[in-house]
Chains A and B, each alone.
Chain A
Amino acid sequence: MDGLRAGLKNELLLMIYRKKTMFFFLVSVLIPVLFILLFHALHPILGRIAVSPSYPVQMLEIYTVFLIPLFMFVEIADLFPQEISSRTLKLALLRPITRLGAYLAKFLALGVAIGILLLLLGTVSTLCNILFGIPGTGNLDIFGLLKAYAAAFLSMLSLAALFIFIAQFFRSAGGFLVFSILLYTGAKAVPYFINGFSFFSITSYTDWYSLWLSHTVSTGRLVTTSLFLLSSLLMFLTIGYILFDRKEV
């Protein structure tokens, strides 16, 4: 357990030292503010666009579809293929830590980073709403907001597990990055051609959190979709571990 904690700390520190991580954090703070500025710039053309209590949820849509997956691919590329190609993975494995510990530490570090990203987005967009919002519009309680963010976090973790599994097949960061972006956009496009694909694809669960805001969706539906995401998280994490375990470094 100590090994895992030390490993996690190690991975998080590494992540912070990478410039791109900080860049992504900065961008995710700036985007809600930039949108407010854009709305102000559009004022003469379109009138004032509503910034309402649902602003944090509307921002979430952009994040879960574009920004967080991109962040994920960049970080996973650094966590796995990059460490193999630059032969630094053995440094982590030389420590008193099991392979499972090293693997989990990487996954958890990514999870923490995604969590921080969501937290930053939630805080900044809520602040934007308090500062620039039009009072008395919309109705979204803070509890509903937290539920939506937690649901978004779960779907992002499942997506991360899937792409960590895919990353095990790659030995270069660039190759993985290109392939995963293509795969992701491809998987997003397939439901437009094949009926029923979206029920089995994790990528179509990126806007899944909106179900948690509804009053009409049945509990059964919420349970089955949550189970789907949890089980796919577990499955891809395990297969990814088996591949990672057999890897020569």
Chain B
Amino acid sequence: MKKKWLLSGSAIGISGAIMLATGLTAFAGTSGYEDYKAALKNTAQNLESVTVQADAVLKDNGTLLSQAQSNLKASLKNEAVSGTLKINGKVGSQNISLYRQPEGLVWKSDASDIYYVKQDKAEKNDQEAGKVTKDAAWLSSQEETVIDALIGNLKNEFTSTSESDGSKKISLQLESAQIPAVVQALAPVAFKHLAYQSEWNRPGDSGTAAEGSDPEELFQQGLLNAKDIALTDGVQIQSISLNAVVNPANEIQSQQFDITFTGQDAQGVAHTLTASLDVQLSAFNGTTPDSIDLSGKQVQQLKDDHEGRHHE
């Protein structure tokens, strides 16, 4: 009888101790995920102005579909942004200069001399301004707990390596089987939505302002000609990869994101679509956006009516 108690007692003791120890190891262990989160927070919290170089590329079976390069200077304090945007697509290339200043968002294409001005509404308009504010918004600790829980065991997939100069490289590589089924199921929905969007856009587009020299429109056509990427069958995410470099001051210096879709178009041809985004951040809190004086220039006011569409 005594032996039995000893046996079960020690079994409970040992296994309980191991359970606690391994749980604590996992709890206390710094993972790449924690490093990444800390860097994101730190970058967003201390950010006042920054220079962003972003490069987005969309490839289909290895051939370039469209490419957008931008060089933006942004200041959060007075909400000013200036920069250039270069788009290479199947329809040709476009250079657009843009400024965001008190009178609104100003766009100008290199092909014409007209400046398009769009009055600012209270809401944030575009990627370049939206990105920074979004990061600042997800900092409440309750939201953080929810995000942690949603990410769940994927947390362990983040790896972090420290370099000799104090910077860190953080990467995440996921293949199709590791991507949660819910996310995977959204892929065909997203493509369906894109195809629908393009059908809906076409007829309206030709009628609007100034025969396609409206830079906003060119921007849309050049970057997202949804007909090129109309995958209909067997759409799924093949891989997701994320690479970030965090500098010694714990600010995100560069951020790469790649996503690969596989699927077939309506003719049954197999496609591999690769979208990649490469963002370089520099001159933290040492950037002053340029501004432009619109007096004496050809200016056209744009109405906000297709705001919603643009946001998609």
Contacts and interface: CB of A to CB of B under 8 A. Distances in A.
Contacts of B154: 210
A45 B185 CA distance: 13
Interface string B115-145: 0000000000000000000000000010011
A138 B236 contact: yes
B234 A221 contact: no
Given A50-B236, A52-B176, A198-B149, A232 B188 contact: no
A48 B189 contact: no
Contact of B23 (A58, A140, A144, A200): A200
B263 A50 contact: yes
Nearest to A190: B149
Interface stretch (A6-14, A81-89, A170-178, A211-219): A211-219
B175 A235 contact: no
Given A49-B234, A134-B234, A214-B157, A195 B177 contact: no
Interface centre among B25, B146, B152, B178 (most CB of A within 10 A): B178
Contacts of A205: 153
Contact of B153 (A49, A140, A210): A210
Interface string B163-184: 0000000011111111011001
Interface string B209-235: 000000000000000000000011111
Interface size class of B (residues with CB under 8 A): 35 or more
Interface in A45-61: 45-54, 57-58, 61
B234 A140 contact: no
Contacts of B234: 47-52, 134, 137
B264 interface: yes
B22 A224 contact: yes
Interface in B19-74: 19, 22-27, 29
Given A50-B263, A196-B27, A200-B23, A238 B11 contact: yes
A23 interface: no
A216 B15 contact: no
Nearest to B237: A50
A225 B22 contact: yes
B152 A204 contact: yes
Q: Is chain B's binding surface mostly helix, strand, loop or mixed?
A: helix
A225 B236 contact: no
Contacts of A221: 26, 29, 156
Contacts of B173: 214-216
Contacts of A62: 181
A231 B21 CA distance: 10
Contacts of B177: 53-54, 57-58, 138, 140, 144, 148, 210, 213
Contacts of B146: 192
Interface centre among B18, B22, B154, B233 (most CB of A within 10 A): B22
Contact of B26 (A210, A228, A242): A228
A46 B263 CA distance: 13
Contact of A235 (B15, B144, B180): B15
A239 interface: yes
Interface of A: 45-54, 57-58, 61-62, 134, 136-140, 144, 148, 191-196, 198-200, 204-205, 207-208, 210-211, 213-218, 221, 224-225, 227-228, 230-232, 234-235, 238-239, 241-242
Interface of B: 8, 11-12, 14-16, 18-19, 22-27, 29, 141, 144-146, 148-149, 152-154, 156-157, 159, 171-178, 180-181, 184-185, 188-189, 191-192, 231-236, 238, 262-264, 270
13 contacts: A47-B231, A49-B235, A140-B175, A198-B152, A204-B153, A207-B153, A213-B175, A215-B173, A216-B157, A227-B22, A228-B18, A228-B26, A230-B18
Given A58-B177, A200-B23, 4 more contacts: A52-B236, A198-B149, A214-B156, A235-B15
